[in-house]
Every structure is written in structure tokens, then in C-alpha cells.
Amino acid sequence: MEIEPSAPSTQHILNLRGARWQYQRAWLRRFVVYKPLGAVGALVVALMLFLSIFGSFLTPYNPIDMDFLARLESPNLRHPLGTDLFGRDVLSNIIGGAKISIYVGFVSVILGTGFGAVWGLTSGYAGGKFDMYSQRLIDILQSIPTLALALVIVASLGSSLNNIIIAISIGLIATSARVVRASAISIRNMDYIAAAISTGAGWRRIVFRHVLPNSLPPYLVVATAGLGIAILQEASLSFLGVGVPPPHPSWGRMLSGMGRDYLTIAPWLSLAPGIAIVVVVLAFNLVGDAFRDMFDPRLRGSGRR
């Protein structure tokens, strides 16, 4: 006579949820205590995400509205970061540029590192000639400077938001493919993979049950660092005049136009976007370093010393 397993009670479910919540709080506390710089970076990233989502409701002025009676005003109560040559509020443009930077950064990283991770995972697990030929393609892609590659692609396809995302994404493929491939090769040679094969497990089960989950930590580190690189590249392209087209606000274009021409008489035009770029890129790098230290067993205890 078979005994049917009883359904979990409501109290049991609540206990599991409470234990999970306590574990998450303990993990967050350890992260803040042992990785304070990473926690500061995560706070800045969270602020950037908040501004990119709700920035249109928080900007004191429309970023593209002009007020010629308020041209080149220094920071004051009405305009905390001053105004530009056309009377546009600099703070509103900084908040609007945050939305563009976050959008370009996240979409580029999802496309570029995602494709590179699939490529590296397939190459590392399959091996053989496919791995050899694919790595030669990665070598060629890595030998080209990413900014130069992005410039060529944008010049060929035209300056638009989608083309900039494509250009930045292609430059992020090689690094993620290399990292995930190395992880896949090391996991493929583990004893538990050989044991799974001996029990008759197919390649789909091995890849999706063992190789892919264990390759996620190094991929997350690369993706987090790639966010800072993508934002910096978008600002560089805009600075060179081939970035996000007007009327979209862009930190790089704020630096290249009036920020450079009026550096001596209106330094706030270049200081505000320059500081924003430095802080955001540094924040993503700090988060990436913290993730690397947490996921790498050799560095896991380095933050406690």
C-alpha cells in the first residue's frame, strides 16, 4: 500500500520563507561588513537605477527646454548645477543622461556578454576543431581596440541609439566568451561530470544541470564590469560626436560641446557630467570586484583581513 506524501502545511511554508529571509539578511550584512566599498558601489548603482526609472518625475525641468534668460547661470537655488548656453538645466540633463547610460549599458551587456557566454560555453564543452576555430575568431576580435571597433561600426551603420548598442555589444563578446570557456573547460574535467556521463546522463543534462550553473559566478563578474565599460564607451562615442543623437541628453556630449568650449568661464558644464561618469563607472567596478572576491574561493576571505 502506497502512502501519498502529505502537502506541506502553511506553517511549514512560513518557516521556510522566514529562514530564507534570515539567510538573505545575514548575507547582506556580511556583504556590507566585509565588502564596504562594494556596498557603496551597489548603493550608487541602485541610485542610478532609481533615477533611470523615475528620473522623468524627479527632474526640476525638461532637459531639452531652453530658457535664454537663464543662459550660463552658475549653480544656485533654482538651478543647483547651473545652466548651459541655451539655458537648459544641467541637473535635469544629468538625470536624463543617467537614463540613457543605464539603458545603453544594460542592453549592451545583456546582448554582448550573453552571446559571448553562450559562445564560450559551447566552445569549452564541445572542444575539438570547433573550439580551435572559434578561439581564433575570439583572438581576432580581442586584437581590435573596443573603442576603435565601436567607431567603425557606428560610422558604418549610422549614429543611432540601437546602432550604438550593437557596436558596444560586439566589443563585449570576446571577454565573456574567454572567461566562460575557461570555466566550462575546468568543469568539464571534474570527476562528478565523468560520474554523470557514466550513469548515462545526456549532454543537455550535463550542460544545463552542471556546467551552466557553475559558470554563472565568473559570468556575473564579467557582466558587472562590462556595465562600467559600456557606459564609458557610450560617453566616449558621444564625446567624439558619433554617440547618442540629440535631443537625447548624454554625459559625453555635455563634455564635448559647451563643457569644453566654456571650461574657463562655466566649469560646471564639464564638472557635472565628468564627475557623474567617474562615480558611476567606479561604482560598477567596485561591485564587480566585490562579486569576484565573493565568488572566487581563493579571494573569499580577503575582505576579512
What are the pLDDT digits (tens) for 33-67?
A: 777 888 888 899 898 888 888 877 878 788 888 88
Reported confidence tier of residue 8, pLDDT bands at 50, 70, 90: low
Distance CA 247, CA 252 (A): 13
Residue 114 pLDDT level (bands cut at 50, 70, 90): very high
**Of 204, 133, 139, 217, nearest to 178 (Cα)?**
139
Q: Would you list the domain boundaries of the chain?
A: 46-304
What tens digit of pLDDT does each residue of 216-258 get?
Answer: 888 888 888 889 899 999 988 888 888 887 777 888 888 887 7
The phi and psi torsions of 82 (rounded to 5 degrees) equal: 85, -175
Q: Does domain 46-304 have CATH number 1.10.3720.10?
A: yes
Tell me the per-residue pLDDT of 265-286, one tens digit each, with 9 for 90 and over. Answer: 888 888 888 899 999 999 988 8
CA 106/CA 4 separation, integer angstroms = 47
Quote the CA–CA distance of 175 and 125 in Å, as a whole number: 17
Q: CB–CB of 228/279 below 8 Å?
A: no
Q: What is the pTM of this model?
A: 0.80
pLDDT of residue 305 exceeding 50, the answer is: no
For position 34, what pLDDT does the model report? 73
In a 10 Å sphere around its CB, with 0-12 CB exposed, 13-18 middle and 19+ buried, how is residue 302 labelled? exposed
- The residue among 70 and 120 whose pLDDT is bigger is 120
pLDDT of residue 26: 67
